[in-house]
């Protein structure tokens, strides 16, 4: 009898302890609620999964195959050689590939780009003594694909009503904005042109003729190159001495279109083929299209509206306008309303392209998300000068007029980051 | 003798049962208080998030009605997706009911969540005053 009583007491005590733990324990994160999840099991909530699919489609998400622009294989093959060739720079020392590396998701892994004079990759390049360019290298994913027609952080090359708007004015070398964009780095001082007194006196005239002069020289070099010249001429059915920079950039654009095309992702398989997502990824997706309001700007087939917006990211480096200031789109349009605006970055492969923001000031993807709704968390204003704080207030002013996300918890930020990782391929 | 033993055992067990019931009755408020304390943070957060989502949805709906466009339509849809957090709130609340909390305790927890942000009496009054 005593044994039975003791057993009953032990069992009831154990049950009570379990009940107390369940009732008093923190929520495990479940389907989007608060609390931290220790594991990430597959999502099974039909309502949320259905809502996420519907929201993605309504916001313009399409299969990656629908975005591809067909290219001629001979042209993208020779474009690959041009991409890796230092002939593209006037001093013959730097290629496109030097700053667009596979290991950094087609960017360079640095906050600010290192142009002419830079050697190596990653931290080695940072310390190599190259000229610093004041903006973060943009990755190439989706560039030149269907509907991707706004280029660079400030949209300095853009297709507007079927016409290319760029610094070439009415002398744009192509009606294809991708090809026009491919014309720019080769004539950008400190990017691929060494900043010397000779260059300043002879070529820094801000006219199309000076750019054409440099590019004609580069085209002649490519035509004369024994590895590239014959293939380039054959790809366009031209004699080698008739190859111009138009063919060089067309081949380069073909390579970028082909090599950096958008490919199927886990999110595509989820939306279009009923593939799985984990609970955390699903919760992040629901936030992305719901309370996070991310899709208000990061909508469309590339997760970018290709418009210009402001997020009060910390500024790293000297800045396009100097003294730690980068006025973004304003530098292109000179319209005061465009101060501190930057083109919404597309999000394919975003998890591979750290650091983030126009100046690469944020290293973690989670912090890049936080910058959208709680930018002051990322800076120590007491350590800043009055000037730096003043610039921050200006950026906060424009950022505050954007569609801001709800205040998200740290766990929700992690859920969003998990969702963004489903856009990798 | 044997009868006395059985009677004593019956009395002992009955006394233990009554004592157990009294302890359980006395312990119930303590249990509820413990459940409330342990869940106040998460439940309070969901109260706040659902409140914000409902407000966002309402404003998006008004805007979509005033200025119908693709953008305002998508913003309204984002507001609808955002309301999913209210489902989380509802589920959480039902779980608390399952673990013994009554509407009184839930109301107390909601009140604490609302007042957690109230910095002074004016805000408390603003939350509670009847508006004509």
Interchain proximity B85–A48, CB inside 8 Å? no
Residues of A with a Cβ under 8 Å from any B Cβ are 19-20, 22-27, 30-35, 47-48, 51-52, 55, 58-59, 286, 289-291, 293, 295-296, 299, 403, 406-407, 409
Could you tell me where the beta strands, DSSP code E, fall in A112-271? Answer: 113-114, 132-133, 150-151, 157-160, 163-165
Higher pLDDT, A16 or A80: A80
B17 assigned to some structural domain: no
Nearest to A289 among B81, B91, B99 (CB): B81
Domain check: are A162 and A202 in the same one? Answer: yes
What average pLDDT does this structure show over B52-71?
Answer: 94
Residues sharing a CB contact under 8 Å with residue A204, sequence separation 6 or more, in sequence order? A189, A210
Cα separation of A303 and A283, whole Å?
18
**Which band of pLDDT confidence, cut at 50, 70 and 90, is reported for residue A6?**
low
Closest CA in chain A for residue B76: A290
A41 assigned to some structural domain: no
Domain boundary among A233, A259, A285: A259
**Which band of pLDDT confidence, cut at 50, 70 and 90, is reported for residue A119?**
confident
Q: How many CB atoms lie within 10 A of CB A209?
A: 9
Domain check: are A274 and A393 in the same one? Answer: yes
The domain total for chain B is 1
> What is the predicted pLDDT for the residue at A188?
81
Cα separation of A53 and B1, whole Å?
78
Cα separation of A55 and A295, whole Å?
9
Nearest CA to B99 among A243, A27, A218?
A27
Instruction: Say if residues A107 and A153 touch (Cβ distance below 8 Å).
Output: no
> What is the predicted pLDDT for the residue at A1?
46
Return the H-helix or E-strand segment holding A308.
strand A308-309
Residue A133 CA, chain-centre distance (Å), reads 17
Closest CA in chain B for residue A403: B75
Interchain proximity A290–B82, CB inside 8 Å? yes
What backbone phi and psi angles, to 5 degrees, belong to A39?
Answer: -125, 170
ipTM entry: 0.74
Domain check: are A202 and A292 in the same one? Answer: no
Domain check: are A180 and A60 in the same one? Answer: no
pLDDT surpassing 60 at residue A35: no
A116 assigned to some structural domain: yes
CA B122 to chain A, closest CA, distance in angstroms equals 24
Cα separation of B99 and B112, whole Å?
19
Domain interval for residue A287:
46-66+263-421
> What is the predicted pLDDT for the residue at B54?
94
Instruction: Say if residues A78 and A231 touch (Cβ distance below 8 Å).
Output: yes
Return the H-helix or E-strand segment holding A342.
strand A342-343
Nearest to B99 among A23, A48, A406 (CB): A23
Nearest to A24 among B38, B82, B91 (CB): B38
How far from B116 is each of A103, A170, B46, B102, B111, CA to CA, in Å? 47, 61, 13, 21, 8
Interchain proximity B78–A55, CB inside 8 Å? yes
Which residues in chain B are contacts of A290 at CB distance < 8 A?
Answer: 53, 78-85
Radius of gyration of chain B (CA): 25
> What is the predicted pLDDT for the residue at A20?
53
Q: Is B53 on the interface with A (CB under 8 A)?
A: yes
Q: Is B113 on the interface with A (CB under 8 A)?
A: no
Structure-derived torsion over alpha carbons of residues A195, A201, A204, A207, reported in degrees to the nearest 10: -160
CA B64 to chain A, closest CA, distance in angstroms equals 14
Domain interval for residue B84:
39-128
Domain check: are A82 and A228 in the same one? Answer: yes
Domain check: are A222 and A282 in the same one? Answer: no
Cα separation of A276 and A43, whole Å?
7
Nearest to A406 among B39, B52, B88 (CB): B52
A38 assigned to some structural domain: no
Nearest to B78 among A25, A31, A293 (CB): A293
Alpha helix (H) residue ranges in A197-244 = 197-202, 208-224, 229-236
The domain total for chain A is 2
How confident is the prediction for chain A on average, in pLDDT? 89
Interchain proximity B42–A48, CB inside 8 Å? no
* Dihedral over Cα of A13, A14, A18, A21: its sign: positive
Nearest to B74 among A27, A286, A295 (CB): A295
Closest CA in chain A for residue B96: A23
B114 assigned to some structural domain: yes
- Which of B49, B78, B86, B117 should one mutate to test binding to chain A, selecting the residue with the greatest count of A CBs within 10 A? B78
Could you read off the pLDDT of B2-26 as tens digits, one per residue? 666 667 888 889 999 999 999 988 8
Domain boundary among A259, A289, A321: A259
CA B128 to chain A, closest CA, distance in angstroms equals 24
Nearest to A286 among B38, B81, B99 (CB): B81
Residues sharing a CB contact under 8 Å with residue A12, sequence separation 6 or more, in sequence order? none
Could you read off the pLDDT of A77-87 as tens digits, one per residue? 999 999 999 99
Q: How many CB atoms lie within 10 A of CB A396?
A: 14
Nearest to A35 among B42, B77, B84 (CB): B42
A17 assigned to some structural domain: no
**Which band of pLDDT confidence, cut at 50, 70 and 90, is reported for residue A34?**
very low
Domain check: are A291 and A352 in the same one? Answer: yes
Domain check: are A186 and A116 in the same one? Answer: yes
Interchain proximity B84–A32, CB inside 8 Å? yes
Could you read off the pLDDT of A273-320 as tens digits, one per residue? 999 999 999 999 999 999 999 999 999 999 999 999 999 999 998 998
Radius of gyration of chain A (CA): 26
Q: Chain B window 70-99: which residues touch A at a Cβ cutoff of 8 Å?
A: 71, 74-75, 77-85, 87-88, 91-92, 99
- What's the pTM? 0.84
Domain boundary among A202, A227, A259: A259
Which residues in chain A are contacts of B45 at CB distance < 8 A?
Answer: 34, 409
**Which band of pLDDT confidence, cut at 50, 70 and 90, is reported for residue B130?**
low
pLDDT surpassing 80 at residue A138: yes
Q: Is B59 on the interface with A (CB under 8 A)?
A: no
Tokens standing for residue A386 = 């009055």
B23 assigned to some structural domain: no
B4 assigned to some structural domain: no
Which domain CATH number covers A348? Answer: 1.10.760.10
Domain check: are A319 and A305 in the same one? Answer: yes
Residues sharing a CB contact under 8 Å with residue A46, sequence separation 6 or more, in sequence order? none
């Amino acid at each position: 009898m005593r044994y039975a009583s003791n057993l009953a007491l032990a069992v009831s005590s154990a049950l009570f302890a379990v009940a107390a733990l369940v009732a008093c324990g923190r929520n495990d994160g479940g389907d989007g609620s608060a609390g931290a999840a220790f594991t990430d099991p597959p999502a099974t909530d039909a309502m949320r999964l259905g809502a996420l699919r519907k929201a993605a489609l309504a916001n313009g998400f399409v299969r990656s195959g629908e975005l591809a622009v067909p290219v001629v294989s001979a042209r993208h093959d020779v474009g690959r050689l041009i991409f890796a060739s230092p002939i593209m720079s006037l001093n013959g020392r730097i290629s496109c590939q030097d700053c667009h590396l596979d290991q950094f998701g087609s960017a360079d892994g640095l906050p600010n780009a290192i142009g002419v004079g830079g050697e190596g990759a990653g931290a080695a390049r940072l310390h190599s003594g190259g000229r610093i360019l004041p903006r973060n290298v943009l990755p190439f994913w989706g560039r030149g694909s269907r509907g991707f027609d706004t280029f660079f952080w400030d949209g300095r090359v853009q297709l507007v009503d079927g016409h290319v708007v760029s610094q070439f004015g009415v002398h744009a070398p192509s009606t294809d904005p991708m090809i026009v964009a491919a014309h720019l780095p080769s004539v950008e001082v400190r990017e691929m042109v060494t900043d010397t007194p000779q260059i300043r006196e002879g070529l820094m005239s801000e006219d199309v003729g000076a750019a054409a002069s440099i590019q004609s020289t580069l085209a002649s070099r490519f035509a004369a190159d024994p590895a590239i010249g014959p293939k380039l001429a054959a790809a366009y059915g031209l004699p080698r001495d008739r190859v111009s920079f138009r063919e060089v950039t067309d081949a380069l654009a073909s390579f970028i279109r082909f090599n950096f095309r958008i490919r199927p992702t886990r999110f595509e398989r989820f939306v279009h083929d009923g593939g799985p997502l984990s609970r955390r990824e699903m919760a992040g997706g629901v936030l992305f299209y719901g309370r996070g309001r991310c899709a208000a700007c990061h909508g469309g087939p590339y997760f970018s509206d290709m418009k210009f917006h402001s997020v009060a990211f910390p500024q790293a480096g000297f800045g396009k306008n100097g003294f730690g200031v980068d006025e973004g789109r304003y530098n292109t349009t000179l319209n005061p309303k465009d101060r501190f605006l930057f083109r919404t970055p597309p999000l394919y492969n975003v998890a591979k392209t750290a650091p983030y923001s126009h100046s690469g000031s944020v290293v973690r993807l989670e912090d890049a998300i936080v910058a959208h709704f709680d930018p002051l968390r990322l800076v120590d204003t007491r350590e800043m000068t009055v000037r730096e704080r003043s610039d921050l207030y200006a950026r906060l002013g424009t950022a505050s007029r954007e569609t801001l996300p709800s205040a998200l918890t740290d766990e929700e930020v992690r859920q969003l980051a998990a969702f963004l990782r489903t856009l990798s391929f | 003798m044997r009868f006395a033993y059985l009677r004593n055992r019956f009395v002992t067990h009955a006394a233990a049962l009554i004592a157990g019931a009294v302890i359980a009755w006395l312990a119930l408020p303590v249990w509820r208080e413990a459940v409330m304390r342990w869940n106040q943070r998460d439940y309070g957060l969901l109260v706040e998030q659902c409140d914000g989502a409902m407000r966002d949805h309402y404003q998006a709906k008004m805007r979509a009605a005033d200025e119908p466009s693709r953008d305002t339509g998508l913003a309204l849809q984002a507001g609808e997706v955002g309301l999913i957090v209210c489902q989380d709130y509802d589920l959480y609340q039902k779980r608390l009911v399952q673990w013994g909390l009554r509407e009184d305790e839930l109301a107390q927890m909601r009140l604490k969540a609302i007042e957690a942000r109230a910095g002074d009496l004016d805000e408390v009054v603003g939350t509670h005053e009847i508006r004509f």
